[in-house]
Structure 1
Amino acid sequence: MVAALPKPDVAEGPVRDLVDALHELHHRAGWPSLRRIAKEVGCSHTTVWAAFAEPKVPRWGLLELIVESLDGDTAAFHRLWLAASSADPPPATAPAVTPPAVTPPAVTPPAVTTPGATPPRQLIADVSGFVCRRAEIAALDASLAGNGSAVTVVAISGTAGVGKTALAVHWAHQAADRFPDGHLYLNLRGFDPTGQPLTTSQAVRALLDAFDVPPQRIPATIDGQLALYRSILSGRRMLLVLDNARSAEQVRPLLPGTASCSTVVTSRNDLFGLVVGEGAHPLVLDLMPAADARDLIAGRIGAGRVAAEPAAVDLIVERCARLPLALAVVAARAATHPRFGLAAVADELSVARGGLDSFGSEDLTTDLRAVISWSYVQLSPDGAGLFRLLGGHPGPDLTVPATASTAGSGAGPARRLLSELAATNLVTEHLPGRYHLHDLLRSYASELAEAGDPQERRAAVVRMLDHYLHTAHRAALILNPYRHPIALEPAAPGVTPESLAGYAQALAWLTAERPVLLAAVRLAADAGLDRHAWQLAWTMTTFLDRRGHWHDWLALSRAAVEAADRLPDPQGQAYAHRGLGLAHFRLNQYEPAQAELSTAAGLFAARGDASGQAHAELDLSWTCERAGRHRDALAHARRSLDLHSAADDLPGQARALNSIGWFAALLHDHTTALAYCRRAHALFQQLGDPVGQAATLDSIGYANHQLGDHAEAAGCYRRAVAMFREAGDRYHEAQSLANLGDALLAAADTGGAHHEWRTALRILDELGHPDAQRVRHRLAVPVS
């Protein structure tokens, strides 16, 4: 708690009424601290302080969030805000132009589905030939039967390679019908060889993505994202499998808050904290009983061979320590060589054991690496070489094209070698076309690579990073053809970047590869390949922005700044600081955003990069606009236009012209606004950019509305609506519909206004966008 905040000294009138109401609301809420309000709102505490203590009327978007955090009446405050801001009226709806450098209007992503429209079915493939573990499956059935009143969690623990994931996934497939609302699977990478478990932010975003939550609906704060995730799960009958957890602390935030959901967690640790704190049912998975181990081998190679050589089978079971992972590797060897006697297989395994350290716990004396090494030495030379190279891949999985580039081979040889590795259970095709290495296998492959030729290993890492960098760069240019370009060095010999045909394929590739790309940036930085690190981070900016992965963007941008500083590379530093500023901007962290973008603008200017400086200046204009500093915003936009003109950058000129027009409208210079926006519209027509044209029509409509020409405004808005609709840009279609309703209301056509607002509200509700609440406020206006 804190004392009452200081009030600004303002005269009697609408502004004073708003100030008094806001401070009274703060009093009734018990004077919560500025930091608590800022955390709920998603901004800095100084921004909240300014809303309370400065005489300037705050932005409605900020005020609305503050009022909501204090459980106030947003409709009543909206009326007070409209009266207070009548001398300086901001737009009732955010402009259709968005910070162009962040989300340019040239290409529009396809509409996403409403959360829950298609139940997620994310379980990875069941283990082929799964046998035994009958007692454990019965225990899972009993634990997850549910009592209807408490959240059900089962924590499966056991040593590495004991079959925790196989059991959880096999049971989940068996029990799938009990959970009609969907199944979620997430590898938390708690014991990943990279040492980088999934963070809470990464995990909750992956779970929200499973529901196709629109990026606009995802809160900026982690607490807000977790609350949204739990709200989506509320009342649904769903199964959540959290695989490979590091600790109870990693799992706890991700647990559903509703008894209708059940969760299975796997970990090498006992997760005692979940048992104590959340009442999880512990299920300790011991080494496989000898009889079950024999059944596993029989399921892979046939009962006849097992019955024919029982002593050899018993020796194999002993040598493999009854670990399913080791048994599967050995069984794969025997299955691919049916003429080999099992006694010979057991003898080879015994020879391979000598001198290797244990992978297991203190109680596991058998050498698991010996089992893997024995299988490894049976590979063809090319297969063994590929296995070593895959130890340098950051995970969690990889494809044939990425494998081909890493190996410096064609796709055909890479596919054949992956098939060889899969036949020996050294890799698993866990999704169609995507291959996964168990973390122990990846660690072993990495050890082999480190013991080999360091130049060969580094060359493979460079080829792998080049593959992802050049393919991601292609995808980024498809998503945003007008982005500020970077010059890539030619890919290393043997690298074949993937071909991407159109927006949908580029988006799908980036979505599938996002975990790999995030890990690749860290790998590049750790390997001293800093150019790859900052360039990979930059190629992902448009995708991370449009999908709302802003925390990932922030983390990558910080890594990019560090990498560019180490080189040192002034160009990389400029791009990296700009990326970091834009990530702060998207998270409503305007002060650090302005600092980073100012640094970027200075670095671009020092290099004589007029285009880069122009982009940074336009970014700065939007940070100023969000802070209500419209004259500063206009000044930055004008500098951006001058620089874009000097660089002969027509798309940049068009965006800057529209921004200048918009800021002029906010400053009530509507004649100037019309002139600039019309110039922007003509350029967008010349460029063949329909979404850019629609954005300028929306701006022109707003200026005409403020000039009192409501008929012209309505006509512009209708054209904007039609163009946004044709382009599939539903969010901006809804914005222009809401603005059209405002123009019709000003023309005394309340019936028409309500019709457009209702259409806008329907779209925003389908998108799950918070702007829907503002349209609901408009619908409170009675129809005359």
Structure 2
Amino acid sequence: MVTLATVDTGNVSPRVSWMLPIRLLAEHLRPVARALETGPVPSQHSSEPTAADLGTSCPLPSDIRDFTGRESEMADISEEIEGADGFPIVQAVYGMGGIGKTTLAVRLAHRYKARYPDGQYFIDLQAHTVGVDPLTPEQTLRTLLRATLGHPSKEGSTLPELSSVWQDVVRLGRIIVVLDNAESFDQIQRLLPRAGQVLILVTSRRWLEELGADGSVPRQLTVFDEDASVELFTRVVGRRRSDTEPEAVEELVRLCGHLPLAIRLKAAYAKGRPTWSLVDIRDEMAEEERTETERGRRQATPADGRLGQLRLGTAHPVRTAFLTSFRRLPEPHQRLFRLLGLHPPEAMDRRAVEALAEDGQTARAGLHVLTRESLVNEHGRSRIGMHDLLREYARGELVAIESWESRRQASGRLIDYYLAVALSARQVQLPARPVSDTAELLHPQLPDVSSLAPSLQWFELEHQNLLGCIDLAAQYGHTSYVWRLPRAMGMYLSLSSNSKDAIPRYERGIEAAKASDQRAVADLRGLLGDALRAEGKQDRSLAEFRAARSLYIGLGDTVSAADMLTRGSAPQRTIEGPEQSVASCLQAIEEYTSAGDSFGSAEAEYLLAMAARLDGDQARALGHLRRALDLYQDSAFTAGEARCLNLMGVIQRLGGDYTTAIGTLEEAVHLYRKAHDNRGIAHAVNNLASAMALAGNLEQAIGIHSEALERFQKYSPYGYPDALLVAGDLRSRQGDHAAAELKLQEAVRLYRPMRASFGEARAHLLLAATLRQQGRYAAGASEAVEALNFYRNAGNETGAAAAQRELETCQAGLEDASGND
């Protein structure tokens, strides 16, 4: 074995003078040179080094002037380096191409140059260089030994001998070595120090988990957050220009997927076009994104897309980075990567990947490799994510290589998996109204959604993927899924009050089902009626319920036909009046009774209770509520129980029994939370805050009411003015009448297009009191008259009496004020 202890003589390079006592240099170096000469040595110089080059190969690249981000990683790695006095240290980072691994390693090397003064070296191990094979351990050792010991003569030596010399080099000197772009642990294993004060920084796209055996666990680098992305773009393009168009910068970094290399390229592109606005640059890239999406829908071969926009002259560094990772995969793993381009953009469950790949074992093995190669990333144990630009690249490979039929079959397996889970989850949400549908394929591995909470959590987690699968079904001609998926999602969309997503999907499903499945059309029309009602579009809502009822009658489904009467009674009351609404509910009860359907009867009894309360007949309302509560309990429908208790609490509050009302409403909130009914929670908390304020617990009421406002804004804009009524009342009770006035005026404005007469009447009544308390008696009287007219037209004697009292109080105040004048 050749070591520095056994060599005799030689000439010394300046770079090695620190390693050996001066008097030993001449006798030690020549045999080292002889030991290092087997075959040509790769060089980062364009030609063989001359005498002037000795000791200068593998120079550390210049530091990055506009370096930003990575504060957390820098701090963690710096802490380990600074705590390793007298010991060798290896630090590794890994991640997808373009994530900034090399930039971070070079910044760290420059930071610690003074700590390791005897040399700083950088070598590209060529794991992902187009047209170049990765360096072998022998090539790497020769290159590094030439850098540290000077240019050797050419004589043979073995890999163990080279490694032994290298270990002496790192043992005797304080140096930094950046091993960039490593392919594998085997490639770098013999370069890792066993002793000495040396810092080795390793970068790789692959997770080199073997390093963890010695405590050098690689750190994964992920994309920048928005702040770091904007800062990087700004440092490249210039702060003055960036600060004038901040929204364009934010959109540009989003289009770059927050990938540092992509951001740097796009910023450089913008800097080279000083006459273009950043909005112009953004619009150009956004148009490519839209084109990419549209071509994907037609399944045409993608154009350049966003990847094509990320260029440097004629080169495409981001695309090339992806290509070099992709081409190193075995074909089965390449195919899995391509197929992942079919999946909607959100993170996916591993079981969805198994459905996509058709073979679970192939999917599991492939995901392990793709994760290790940083082509996908793990989101916990069971979920996988993929960067937007990698997904675009995968789609390009998919369309270029996979046939139309292959893509269609794979998309069908994926969509059917999501339908299978959605149907299982839907059945536990409303067992009394099951959806008559089953998945077409056998899926051996499905998530557990056998109880309410997991079923709703699954829908919330997979919401965007389900919507994406509806689009995917349309793209590949899986027409039945265009209506089957939104129908399976219906209960969840209703509970989450997500009418914005629901309405266009229901409308699209209706059009897709018209020619072949009238039951699906009826089901979706009923769901569309619910969503339109939640949006305050009462006319269209009632029309959809009636169209659905006609279809159900034609199909001989009397229970579903009766459901359309009950669900349509709320918009019917607004449009046609309370008598017609009540008549529909009574007719529905007759139809439910004939069919022996207790759940439907519970729904109708509850709606009759609502109508009685609005008519001012609280005793009749409580009777309906008690019957509905018993029927809901028999049907094990928790949300229905909560609904009854919520209305009971309101009636108790109106009757002045605040203590009982608070207890009832607290139970309603509890049951709504158990049922995960966001809209119901908002209503119950709103009513609870009102009851607490009336009971004198003003601070407690204000404390809980913010939740109602937030939930209404997020889940039920139609109910938001109800929360504004309570907010106005709370502010008025605090003595902040000006703030109360603003809340109540906003409530009036929101109620008016909804044609919600009782809500608007209550808003006018509270506004009258608020104005009166400010001494504005004439304005208060005017608002009281508005409230009075609403209540009289609705036949609500209780409300009319309250409005009359407020009017008289305002008029008295006006007379007193006139008398004092």
- TM-score bracket for the superposition, by shorter chain length: 0.5 to 0.7
Match 2:592 to one of 605, 628, 644 = 644
- What do residues 316-344 of structure 1 show as CA deviations (whole Å, max 9, x unaligned)? xxxxx4533223432x3xxxxxxxxxxxx
The equivalent residue for 1:167 is: 261
8 Å contact kept, 1:730–1:763: no
TM-score, with length taken from structure 2: 0.50
The equivalent residue for 2:403 is: 450
Alignment of 1:209-608 (within 5 A): 286-287=311-312, 321-330=315-324, 332=325, 375=327, 379-380=330-331, 382-387=332-337, 389-390=339-340, 392-396=342-346, 398-410=348-360, 412-422=361-371, 427-429=375-377, 431-432=379-380, 433-436=383-386, 437-450=390-403, 454=405, 456-478=406-428, 480-482=429-431, 484-494=433-443, 496-500=445-449, 502-566=451-515, 568-608=516-556
Q: How far apart are residue 690 of structure 1 and its match?
A: 5.2
The equivalent residue for 2:665 is: 720
8 Å contact kept, 2:653–2:691: no
Instruction: Name the CA distance, whole Å, in 2 between partners of 1:189 and 1:626.
Output: 47
Instruction: Tell me how many residue pairs correspond in the alignment.
Output: 476
Instruction: Name the CA distance, whole Å, in 2 between partners of 1:189 and 1:466.
Output: 31
| Consecutive unaligned residues in structure 2, runs of 5 or more | 1-94, 108-228, 267-284, 298-302, 674-679, 714-719, 736-772, 774-821
The equivalent residue for 2:696 is: 752
8 Å contact kept, 2:566–2:585: yes
Q: How far apart are residue 584 of structure 1 and its match?
A: 1.9
Match 2:705 to one of 744, 751, 761 = 761
Instruction: Name the CA distance, whole Å, in 2 between partners of 1:582 and 1:768.
Output: 17
- What do residues 575-594 of structure 1 show as CA deviations (whole Å, max 9, x unaligned)? 12122222222222222212
Alignment of 1:198-213 (within 5 A): none
Instruction: Name the CA distance, whole Å, in 2 between partners of 1:752 and 1:418.
Output: 60
Instruction: Name the CA distance, whole Å, in 1 between partners of 2:96 and 2:648.
Output: 54
Q: How far apart are residue 781 of structure 1 and its match?
A: 5.7
Match 1:731 to one of 673, 676, 682 = 682
Q: How far apart are residue 460 of structure 1 and its match?
A: 2.7
Does 1:775 find its partner at 2:719? no
Instruction: Name the CA distance, whole Å, in 1 between partners of 2:241 and 2:345.
Output: 39
More moved, 640-649 vs 513-522: 640-649
Instruction: Name the CA distance, whole Å, in 1 between partners of 2:576 and 2:698.
Output: 29
CA pair 693-488 structure 1, distance change in 2 beyond 3 A: closer
SS of residue paired to 1:415: helix
SS of residue paired to 2:418: helix
The equivalent residue for 2:235 is: 141
CA pair 692-754 structure 1, distance change in 2 beyond 3 A: same
Instruction: Name the CA distance, whole Å, in 2 between partners of 1:580 and 1:164.
Output: 38
Instruction: Name the CA distance, whole Å, in 2 between partners of 1:774 and 1:628.
Output: 25
SS of residue paired to 2:491: helix
Does 1:195 find its partner at 2:294? yes
Q: How far apart are residue 162 of structure 1 and its match?
A: 9.6
8 Å contact kept, 1:764–1:772: yes
Alignment of 1:674-689 (within 5 A): 674-689=622-637
Instruction: Name the CA distance, whole Å, in 2 between partners of 1:632 and 1:612.
Output: 20
8 Å contact kept, 1:476–1:539: yes
CA pair 171-660 structure 1, distance change in 2 beyond 3 A: farther
CA pair 488-148 structure 1, distance change in 2 beyond 3 A: closer
Q: How far apart are residue 505 of structure 1 and its match?
A: 3.8
Instruction: Name the CA distance, whole Å, in 1 between partners of 2:621 and 2:524.
Output: 33
Q: How far apart are residue 646 of structure 1 and its match?
A: 3.5
SS of residue paired to 1:621: helix
- What do residues 187-218 of structure 1 show as CA deviations (whole Å, max 9, x unaligned)? 999257552899xxxxxxxxxxxxxxxxxxxx
SS of residue paired to 1:540: helix
CA pair 449-267 structure 1, distance change in 2 beyond 3 A: closer
TM-score, with length taken from structure 1: 0.52
- What do residues 202-249 of structure 1 show as CA deviations (whole Å, max 9, x unaligned)? xxxxxxxxxxxxxxxxxxxxxxxxxxxxxxxxxxxxxxxxxxxx9xxx
8 Å contact kept, 1:189–1:197: no
Equivalent residue letter for 1:644? Y
The equivalent residue for 1:351 is: none
Instruction: Name the CA distance, whole Å, in 1 between partners of 2:403 and 2:629.
Output: 58
* More RCO (CA 8 Å, sep 6+): 1
8 Å contact kept, 1:554–1:584: yes
SS of residue paired to 1:678: helix
Match 1:695 to one of 615, 634, 643 = 643
Specify which structure has the higher proportion of helix: 2
Q: How far apart are residue 163 of structure 1 and its match?
A: 9.1
Q: How far apart are residue 688 of structure 1 and its match?
A: 4.8
- What do residues 48-83 of structure 1 show as CA deviations (whole Å, max 9, x unaligned)? xxxxxxxxxxxxxxxxxxxxxxxxxxxxxxxxxxxx
Greater radius of gyration (CA):
2
Equivalent residue letter for 1:549? N
Q: CA RMSD in A?
A: 4.5
The equivalent residue for 1:655 is: 603
Q: How far apart are residue 546 of structure 1 and its match?
A: 3.8
Q: How far apart are residue 620 of structure 1 and its match?
A: 0.7
SS of residue paired to 1:577: helix
Instruction: Name the CA distance, whole Å, in 2 between partners of 1:720 and 1:171.
Output: 58
Q: How far apart are residue 600 of structure 1 and its match?
A: 1.0
| Consecutive unaligned residues in structure 1, runs of 5 or more | 1-123, 173-185, 199-245, 247-265, 271-284, 290-320, 333-371, 745-750
8 Å contact kept, 1:422–1:428: yes
Instruction: Name the CA distance, whole Å, in 1 between partners of 2:235 and 2:692.
Output: 56
Instruction: Name the CA distance, whole Å, in 1 between partners of 2:728 and 2:542.
Output: 32
| Identity across the alignment (%) | 20
8 Å contact kept, 1:476–1:540: yes
8 Å contact kept, 1:394–1:520: yes
Alignment of 1:110-129 (within 5 A): 128=99
The equivalent residue for 1:66 is: none
Equivalent residue letter for 2:600? G
Instruction: Name the CA distance, whole Å, in 2 between partners of 1:520 and 1:189.
Output: 23
CA pair 545-163 structure 1, distance change in 2 beyond 3 A: closer
